[in-house]
Structures are given as C-alpha cells and as structure tokens.
Amino acid sequence: METESLPFLLLLPILIPGAVQGEVIQDFSQCAWFFQGKVPPQGFDTQNRVKICQRYRNHYHFVTLYRTELRNPVYSAYRYPCTMGVKAKQRPRPWFYEPQIDDPHASAEMSSSNDTSSDHQAVDADYQRSGYDRGHLYPFSLNKNDSATATCTLTNAVPQKHKANVNWAKEAESVVLKLAKICHKSGRLTYVVTGSANSTTIKLKNKVMVPEVAWTALCCTSSSSPNNDPCLNNHVWSEGPDLPRYDKDFSAAFKKRMEPEEPAVRLTVRELQNELKVGKIFESCRGTSADDEEETFKDVTYLIETEMSN
Ligand SMILES: *[C@@H]1O[C@H](CO)[C@@H](O)[C@H](O)[C@H]1NC(C)=O
Ligand SMILES: *[C@@H]1O[C@H](CO)[C@@H](O)[C@H](O)[C@H]1NC(C)=O
Ligand SMILES: *[C@@H]1O[C@H](CO)[C@@H](O)[C@H](O)[C@H]1NC(C)=O
C-alpha cells in the first residue's frame, strides 16, 4: 500500500494551485544524514511547514523545517564537523532566500534575496530598519568555507533583539561549540537541532513573526554510516590538545527567552521535548531517557566547567 500511494503523493503539490513545495521536498531522505540515526525530530511536522534541504554551490549544508505562515523557521538541523565546499567563509550581502518555496520550478539552490518579495518567507528587506537582527539558528561561527556562508539564508533566521542575539551566542552557541569539539576529539560527531518557539505579538513589516524562545539540543554519538558519510569524506580536522577528554556519548539542551536580560538555561533533551510538546528530537542518544539523563547532565556540567587549560 505504501508504494502504491507514493505517485499520488508526489503529484499532489502540482494539482493544488499555490501549494508550497520545492528542494523544498516531501521528506528529508535526500539529506537525512544531518539527523541522528537519519530520523527527523518527531512531532514538529504540522500544517504550513516546508522541508528544505539547504543547498548552496551544489552541496547540502544543513536542513530546515520552515513555517510559511509566520515566515520563520521551526528548526535547523546540522552537524559538527561537516564542512562542504571550498573558499573562505563570508557573509553574503544581501542574505539568501529559498526560491522553491514560492515556485517549485525555481532553482534548487538558495539565492540572493535582493529585490525579492514573497508571501511565504522572509526576505532581506523585511529586516531592514526593523531594529532586529537576523538571528542564525545554525550559527555562522560553527563552520568553515561554504557551509558557514550557507547559514546566511533567511530560512535559517529568526528576528532577535541585538543584545539577546549576542547573549545567546555567548551563553549557548559558544558552549555548544566547546561540547562539539570535545565530542569530535573522541572520534564522534555532534548532531544539533536549533529552533524557535512561541510567538510574541510583534511582526516585522507586519510579516515576519518574532518568536519568544530560542532553543538548541545536541547529541554526541557515532555516525550511523561511518564509511559512507557525506560530511566526513573531506576535510576532517583535529581539535588540538586544549580540551578535556570524554570517551562517551552525551546529549544536552539550552533555551532562552529572547530578552537581553533573560539568561539562557541548560536542561536535558527530555525536559526540552516536554516544554516544546514534541516527540523525540534524537532517535537514540545517551541522556535522553529517564534512566540516564541525570548522570549525563552531571557529566556535561563537568565538561562545560573544565577550563581549557590542560
Ligand atoms: C576551505 O577551502 C579551501 C580551498 O578554498 C581548502 O583548502 C580547505 O581545506 C577548506 N577547509 C575546510 C575545513 O574544508
Ligand atoms: C541589489 O539591488 C539593488 C537595487 O536594484 C542594486 O543596486 C544592488 O547592486 C543589488 N545588490 C546585489 C548584491 O545584487
Ligand atoms: C511556550 O509558552 C507556554 C505557555 O506560556 C509554556 O508553557 C511553554 O513552556 C513555552 N515553551 C517554551 C519552549 O518555553
């Protein structure tokens, strides 16, 4: 039955005028290696959401689930390490957008949002003189070369007050990067899912909804297909001696109400799932069940607090 119904599903977007789809795709199978166990987070996939395999210069760099009616992303999923493509990283001006959200026949690559307007997604002009930053979900600083440049697409951005954006980088993103490096040092990979939740009452240009909460969850574990891993085929780099060693899988999560004075808090992945009212963010990861979450939380506290000195 499954296979018989497939051709119908593939035709559906063409039959319904105005339906939104594109590299914008039906399911994430083409770029599933960005998810732990190749399984997307469960319980996020409701109405008016499009799936994007984020493609830039002929490589997939990460994955986004996007809310078209609020013109902001639910989450982006990515990995560390995973540098695809070449050249030094640079921030494009203006930022990119996803042409296939508006036109399924458009280019499958993210493109400059200059001179573009859209009924289904944010474009650079929506943020101009708004007083809000284009806050990255997948951070620019976590990667190198084209993979870093590809993070500067508006489908990976939520409006954030500047000071809150800066504090989120300090309180959460920099800690995630440290943990990802510790993880990589043990020969493992870090799968990260970063998202936004809960709307405020503010909309930029009466279009782009400002979310109330930013959150991120990470899982350090081994690749499910180490010999055929698109992220690891090229450019494997080492992390140097200045990090603690920790030879186990682990998970962790952070969230912040995006007000400058509100501190980011660390929580377990299970606690985050409960607050978001979703299913599993990771298919299987140490620290995400009632049996191992307390021990893992303590271990991660130790890793975060260990000075980068020995
Ligand atoms: C970045 O690109 C340069 C070539 O432009 C390449 O030599 C280098 O290995 C790349 N770095 C990574 C981490 O992939
Ligand atoms: C963006 O559009 C403006 C106005 O059409 C043009 O002057 C500018 O050169 C464009 N910028 C880029 C990077 O394409
Ligand atoms: C969103 O708001 C609801 C209601 O105030 C709250 O219970 C929930 O924890 C919030 N979600 C997050 C992720 O903070």
Please tell me whether the peptide bond between 81 and the residue prior to it is cis, using omega within 30 degrees of 0.
yes
For position 230, what pLDDT does the model report? 86
Q: How far is the CA of 238 from the centre of ligand 3 (A)?
A: 39
276: Cβ below 6 Å to ligand 3?
yes
For position 18, what pLDDT does the model report? 33
For position 238, what pLDDT does the model report? 81
Rounded distance between C-alpha atoms, residue 128 and residue 134, angstroms:
10
243: Cβ below 6 Å to ligand 3?
no
Q: How far is the CA of 91 from the centre of ligand 2 (A)?
A: 16
The binding-site residues of ligand 2, defined as CB within 6 angstroms of any ligand atom, are 112, 114-115
In this structure, is residue 2 part of a structural domain?
Answer: no
Q: How far is the CA of 114 from the centre of ligand 2 (A)?
A: 6
* Nearest-CA residue for atom 12 of ligand 3: 275
Determine the atom of ligand 3 nearest the C-alpha atom of 276: 13
**DSSP per residue over 112-166, as a string?**
E-TT---SSS--HHHHTTSS-EEEESS-GGG--HHHHHTT-BGGGEEEE-HHHHH
For position 212, what pLDDT does the model report? 98
Determine the atom of ligand 3 nearest the C-alpha atom of 275: 9
The closest ligand to the CA of 112 turns out to be 2
Tell me the residue range of the domain where 271 lies.
Answer: 8-309
pTM: 0.90
Domain count, the chain: 1
For position 13, what pLDDT does the model report? 36
- Closest by CA to 136, choosing from 212, 76, 219, 208, is 76
Instruction: Indicate which CATH number applies to the domain containing 274.
Output: 3.40.570.10
* Nearest-CA residue for atom 8 of ligand 2: 114
Q: What is the mean pLDDT of each run of 10 residues along the chain (310 residues)?
A: 36 34 72 95 90 94 96 97 91 94 91 89 95 97 94 97 97 97 94 97 96 98 85 71 92 96 97 98 97 98 79
Write b or e for each residue in 152-165: b if 16 or more Cβ atoms lie within 10 A of its Cβ, otherwise e: bbbbbbbbbbeebb
In this structure, is residue 90 part of a structural domain?
Answer: yes
Determine the atom of ligand 2 nearest the C-alpha atom of 94: 13
Determine the atom of ligand 1 nearest the C-alpha atom of 237: 13
In this structure, is residue 1 part of a structural domain?
Answer: no
